[in-house]
A and B are shown apart, each in its own frame.
Chain A
Amino acid sequence: MDDKELVNCVLKGDTQVFATIIKNTEGLVAQIVFQLLNNPEDRKDIAQDIYLKAYKNLQGFKFQSKLSTWIGQIAFNTCFNFLEKKKVTLLDNKLPENEANCSALEIAANRLIDLSNNEAENRLFRSELAEIVQAAIEFLPPLYKTLITLFHYEELSYEEIAEITRLPIGTVKNYLFRARKELKENILLQYKKEEL
């Protein structure tokens, strides 16, 4: 069933079809919720709230975008409102740039590439790097984390991300650039620390 058939079935009263909509979109919603909220209880409440809102407003869905994008937009908006109530800012820069950091980054980058090219150390390096990347993503501001995962993991287009976050496409591109830069610096600094 495509988006139109699914929505029409639910609107005609066959609520059981809504379970299919949940299953189809749960992955994207989980990505958004996990990147924006840390508390498991909050995630549970918000995830339910997202789908109840989607069900309530399904009549307002005009098929101008994919159903998953529309539900993603509800997910982002619900999390955003929740964080706003808790006075959590979506953009909170934690790493000020300075000269010492820059040289440390260069050394770490060299080491990182040496290791990735060395076959013998590659396996160990991969598992270590996976942990460092995960930790570095966690260290990013919530909005950057979300943009990075939507673009590089979920492989959504700039247009889809702009629709979900209700940000202009230019802003999405700009934030993604900054997010990648900050992520790289976080990883290299973390890597440098582990090396020491």
Chain B
Amino acid sequence: MTTKHLLEVEIQHYAIDKVSCGTQITDHIHACEACRLKAETYRIILTEIKEQPKPVFDFNLTDLVMNQLPQPKHIASFENIVLYITTVVSILVTGFAIYFFSSFLSNAVIGITPIVTYLVITTLVGLLIFLGIDMFANYKKQMKILNFN
């Protein structure tokens, strides 16, 4: 055991982690009142530091920062890719059909009988009326929801 008083650095070492201190330091602390007093003072202070309240920003940092970042880039998902491909294929197929079968289509329109024409027009008008009524009913329903009074 060392008879000279411990250095301040040794006392701090003992106060922070007495397990890793050498036996010379530990033995001296046990025997020396003055060094034990210093080590105990450090121990109390260091314990108190850990008890201090954690500093917290008094504003929402995440919101402040996120508002200044660029908008997220559009990420190409599998569904989007399938949708794009389907649209392009549909346009191409329709285009090719009109191009190659235009003569047959014009003949079909010219050769159509008046009764079939009336039937088609009546069906289309009926459908349009039905869709119109449905849209109007939906519009009324949504306006009712928006009317908070």
A-binding segment of B65-73, B101-109, B111-119, B136-144? B65-73
Task: Mark out the residues of chain A between 95 and 121 whose CB falls within 8 Å of any chain B CB in the assembled complex.
Answer: 106, 109-110, 112-113, 116
Question: Which residues of chain B come closer than 8 Å to A18, judged between CB atoms?
Answer: 65-66, 69
What is the distance, in angstroms, from B9's C-beta to the closest C-beta of chain A? Answer: 6
Q: Are A13 and B72 in contact (CB under 8 A)?
A: yes
Considering the chains assembled together, what is the distance between the CA atoms of A47 and B55 in angstroms? Answer: 13
| From A19, A26, A55, A184, contact of B57 by CB (8 A) | A26
B12 on the A face (CB < 8 A): yes
Question: Which residues of chain B come closer than 8 Å to A133, judged between CB atoms?
Answer: 45, 48-49, 52
B54 on the A face (CB < 8 A): yes
| From A14, A134, A187, contact of B75 by CB (8 A) | A14
What is the distance, in angstroms, from B89's C-beta to the closest C-beta of chain A? Answer: 28
Point out which of B9, B44, B59, B72 has the most chain A C-beta atoms below 10 A from its C-beta.
B44
Mark each residue of chain A from 163 to 191: 1 if its CB lies under 8 Å from any CB of chain B, else 0. 00000000000000100110110011000
Considering the chains assembled together, what is the distance between the CA atoms of A119 and B9 in angstroms? Answer: 30
Q: Are B44 and A113 in contact (CB under 8 A)?
A: yes
Considering the chains assembled together, what is the distance between the CA atoms of A23 and B63 in angstroms? Answer: 11
Q: How many residues of B contact A (CB 8 A)?
A: 34
Question: Which residues of chain B come closer than 8 Å to A14, judged between CB atoms?
Answer: 72, 75
Interface contacts (Cβ under 8 Å), in number, total 104
Question: Which residues of chain A come closer than 8 Å to B44, judged between CB atoms?
Answer: 112-113, 116, 129
| From B52, B54, B58, B68, contact of A52 by CB (8 A) | B68
Question: Which residues of chain B come closer than 8 Å to A112, judged between CB atoms?
Answer: 41, 44
Question: Which residues of chain A come closer than 8 Å to B66, judged between CB atoms?
Answer: 15-16, 18-19, 22
Which residue of chain B has the shortest Cβ distance to A35 in the bound complex? B55
Q: Are A44 and B57 in contact (CB under 8 A)?
A: yes
B56 on the A face (CB < 8 A): yes
Question: Which residues of chain A come closer than 8 Å to B51, judged between CB atoms?
Answer: 130
Considering the chains assembled together, what is the distance between the CA atoms of A43 and B12 in angstroms? Answer: 33
Considering the chains assembled together, what is the distance between the CA atoms of A192 and B120 in angstroms? Answer: 103
What is the distance, in angstroms, from B35's C-beta to the closest C-beta of chain A? Answer: 12
Q: A112-B44, A134-B52 are in contact. Are A22 and B72 (CB under 8 A)?
A: no
Q: Are A26 and B61 in contact (CB under 8 A)?
A: yes
Q: Are B69 and A55 in contact (CB under 8 A)?
A: yes
Considering the chains assembled together, what is the distance between the CA atoms of A129 and B80 in angstroms? Answer: 63
Question: Which residues of chain A come closer than 8 Å to B9, judged between CB atoms?
Answer: 177
Question: Which residues of chain B come closer than 8 Å to A44, judged between CB atoms?
Answer: 57, 59, 64
Considering the chains assembled together, what is the distance between the CA atoms of A70 and B46 in angstroms? Answer: 27
15 contacts between A and B (CB under 8 A): A13-B72, A15-B70, A22-B65, A30-B55, A30-B57, A47-B64, A52-B65, A52-B68, A55-B65, A55-B69, A106-B37, A130-B48, A133-B52, A180-B46, A187-B45
In the A-B complex, list the 6 residue pairs whose CB atoms are closest, starting with the nearest: A13-B73, A34-B55, A51-B65, A133-B48, A109-B41, A152-B49
Other A-B pairs, 17, CB within 8 Å; known A48-B64, A148-B49: A13-B75, A14-B75, A18-B69, A30-B56, A34-B55, A43-B57, A44-B59, A48-B65, A51-B65, A55-B65, A109-B37, A109-B41, A130-B48, A133-B49, A134-B52, A152-B46, A153-B54
